[in-house]
Amino acid sequence: MFLTIFNNPLPVAELVDKTTEWLTKTFSGLFGLVQDLGNAVMNVMTDTLLFFPPIFVIVLLTGLAYLLSRKKTPKAFGLALFTFIGLLFIDNQELWVDLMNTLSLVVVASILSVIIGIPLGIWMAKSNRVQQIVNPILDFMQTMPAFVYLIPAVAFFGIGMVPGVFASIIFALPPTVRFTNLGIREVPRDLVEASESFGSTGQQKLFKVELPLAKDTIVAGVSQTIMLALSMVVTGSMIGAPGLGRGVLSALQKADIGSGFVNGLSLVILAIIIDRMMQLVNVKSQNPLPPLLKKALSGLALVLLLLPSFASFFGNSKAAKKDTINLAYVQWDSEIASTNVLAEVLRQEGFEVEMTPLDNAVVWKSLADGSMDTSMSAWLPVTHGDLFAEYKGKLEDLGPNLEGVALGLAVPTYMAVDSIEDLTSQADSAITGIEPGAGIMASTDNALSAYANLSSWTLEPASTGAMVTALDKAIKGQEDIVITAWSPHWMFAKYDLKYLEDPQKVFGDGENIHTLTRQGLAEDKPEAFQIIDQFYWTKEDMEAVMLDIADGMSEEEAARKWIKANPNKVAEWTKS
């Protein structure tokens, strides 16, 4: 009886799935409300930040940095100078919008962490029992890999800013809670006794003695929380959180070292500025501000507070345009090409377009729950067959937008194998793959079990960019490599590659790329739906765009170039 436990795995995963599902269903109203509210708040905030010209915000933040440094030593320009140059650099790299998105995300996540964390920390400090219960939970929260939070975050709040904030809070909350608890518990015993002996109520003791004395410790905790929230920005971008994280992630997926570095550096600059400012907040002021300056500053703060309403007012007047279309895509080079072209066409027709890069499985999920409008990236019938089966009936399949794609295992032409069945122990019996959630990975897993000669082979997941980089390295060293490949893709134009024959047809027999939309898009946004439905092009079209991007042209530019060159095709899509 007892031994059976060891023979069969306990159904923990199943249990968690069921629980999450139940939660999602039961509280869908609440989650939806939180999502809408959260999105509204974040949008107002980002709009406000973007309402001002960057140079104005830069000067403002530089001034703030100077005033804070001034507290410490009257003549400190270091931080102010760093802030000014750093932010100018980010603006110069055209990452300003991303920076402001990141800033909103970090600020909201941090504020919420503080709102939740400080009371929880106080409660912990007041009760040993609560401390015993909460401490292990905090340990669990901090050691659990952050990726794990993304899954329920998407289930609860769809995609975009809100789940990013949710995941950031879970990840970043512990330091604030711990330090608040610690700070209050460290208040000298005799001071607590003194306030009690004078007849303070619990509240008076907390606000007049404990919190003021624990302040420094609490601020240190909050700084840590902010840094952790910042580090979650990159992770959160996998589920659609906009900002600098997206740049880092897509650089990883496209193996684009330069742009990854620039995005990463921008994050570092932001982190340093925030961290130093937080440290300075804690310093006792030795140089109080002259009253006139104080007045001016508080006036400015008031203006800043009132402006969001103006900004949203102007924003509304701008939104008198046509609908906003939310495009979801995976950052594979093929999908980057098609999504950018579609986005550009829709823009030229007067729509607002939001493009959200996501992990493949999340794309399907976002269409199923209606948080995204459409995606051009379904490889059917085989590659994404299991996803299609899972979400069947929850989204609309508009049929192919590109026919006759190939996928399978590919090798450089200098290798002597021609069929999957010829593989013995080349390339260390390993297949270099892409993101673990991609459809082709599932197909390759099937191939490993379908072909007897692959029984000892392994599939190494990575990312699309990492795979291409590994391929580049192998070809330069004339080494063996087996990759998961698909076309259209520019790697076939750049390198001499060949597909291995697939006698068992594990990788399907000629795939098509389909367009998917959420349910009800045809009724909600008929004009856009018309264009999306009529979008259709060929492998050659796609590869033209892909090559331009691979050669360093920006994605939008490559899309515009193609549209200019193919007016007839575009006219086919846009005719009503």
Partner 1 sequence: MEKLEIKQLTKIFGKRQKQALKMVKEGASKTDILKKTGATVGVYDANFSVKEGEIFVIMGLSGSGKSTLIRLLNRLIEPSSGDIYINGQDIAKMNKEELREVRRHSINMVFQNFALLPHKTILENTEFGLELRGVPKEERQKLAEKALENSDLLAFKDQYPSQLSGGMQQRVGLARALANDPEILLMDEAFSALDPLIRKEMQDELLDLQERVQKTIIFITHDLNEALRIGDRIALMKDGKIIQIGTGEEILTNPANDFVREFVEDVDRSKVLTAQNIMIKPLTTNLDIDGPKVALNRMRNESVSMLMAVNRKRQLQGVVTADQALEAARHHRTLTEVVTKDVITIAKDTLVTDILPLIHDSSSPIAVVDDNDRLAGVIIRGRVLEALAKDTD
Binding site for partner 1 (CB under 8 A): 188, 190-191, 193-201, 204, 208-209, 212-213
Closest distance to partner 1 from the beta carbon of 187 (Å): 10
Q: Which two tokens stand for residue 341?
A: 């072209």
In whole angstroms, the minimum distance from the beta carbon of 188 to partner 1 comes to 8
Q: How far is the CB of 525 from partner 1 (least distance, A)?
A: 59
Rounded CA-CA distance 245/132 in Å is 36
In the complex with partner 1, the residue whose CB is nearer, 143 or 203, is 203
**The pairing of beta strand 430-432 with beta strand 374-380:** unpaired
Q: Is the Cβ of residue 193 or residue 428 nearer to partner 1 in the bound state?
A: 193
Q: Which residues pair with 564 in a beta bridge?
A: none
Instruction: Provide the token pair at 296.
Output: 């001016």
Per the structure block, which two tokens stand in for 454? 């692959």
Residue 208 beta carbon to partner 1: minimum distance, rounded to whole angstroms: 8
Q: Closest distance between partner 1 and the C-beta of residue 352, in Å?
A: 52
Tokens of 358: 């996501």
428: which DSSP letter? G
Closest to partner 1 by CB, 129 vs 189, is 189
Provide, rounded to whole angstroms, the least separation between the CB of residue 64 and partner 1: 25
Three-state DSSP at 208 gives helix
Tokens describing residue 134: 């909460």
Nearer to partner 1, 97 or 219 (CB): 219
Q: Which of 36/193 has CB closer to partner 1?
A: 193
Cβ distance to partner 1 smaller for residue 11 or 212:
212
* Angle subtended at Cα 84 by Cα 79 and Cα 88, rounded to the nearest 5 degrees: 145
Hey, what are 384's tokens? Answer: 């994404």
Name which of 2 and 198 has its Cβ closer to partner 1: 198
> Smaller CB distance to partner 1: residue 201 or 453?
201
Q: Which is nearer to partner 1, 209 or 417 (CB)?
A: 209
Residue whose CB is less far from partner 1, 145 or 199: 199
Q: How far apart are CA 297 and CA 283, in angstroms?
A: 19
Compute CA distances 24 → 19, 40, 131, 172, 253, whole Å. 8, 21, 29, 23, 31
Burial call 147-176: b when 16+ CB within 10 Å, e when fewer = eebbbbbbbbbbbbbbbbbbbbbbbbbbbb
| 212/520 with CB nearer partner 1 | 212
Contact 404, 510 (CB under 8 A): yes
Going through 364-496 in order, the beta strands assigned E by DSSP cover 374-380, 395-412, 430-432, 458-460, 482-487
Least distance in angstroms from the C-beta of 197 to partner 1: 4
CB of 179 to partner 1, least distance (A): 18
Which residues have CB under 8 Å from 52's CB, separation 6+?
A: 60
Contact 524, 306 (CB under 8 A): no
d(CA 26, CA 21): 8
Closest CB to partner 1 among residues 20, 200: 200
Residue closer to partner 1, measured from CB, 203 or 576? 203
Q: How far apart are CA 245 and CA 260, in angstroms?
A: 9
Three-state DSSP at 168 gives helix
Nearest approach, Cβ of residue 198 and partner 1 (Å): 4
Q: Give CA 33 to chain center in angstroms.
A: 21
Q: How far is the CB of 206 from partner 1 (least distance, A)?
A: 13
What is the rounded distance in angstroms from the CA atom of residue 70 to the CA atom of residue 65?
8
Q: Which is nearer to partner 1, 65 or 209 (CB)?
A: 209
Comparing CA positions, the residue from 310, 313, 309, 375 lying closest to residue 342 is 375
Contact 411, 481 (CB under 8 A): yes
Minimum CB separation of residue 286 from partner 1 in Å reads 13
Residue 402's closest CA among 539, 230, 239, 205? 539
The values of phi and psi at residue 554, to 5°, are: -70, 155
Phi-psi domain of 551 (left: phi exceeds 0; alpha: psi -120 through 50; beta: other): alpha
CB of 70 to partner 1, least distance (A): 22
Q: How far is the CB of 148 from partner 1 (least distance, A)?
A: 41
Q: How far is the CB of 248 from partner 1 (least distance, A)?
A: 42
Taking the alpha carbons at both ends of the chain, their separation in whole angstroms is: 68
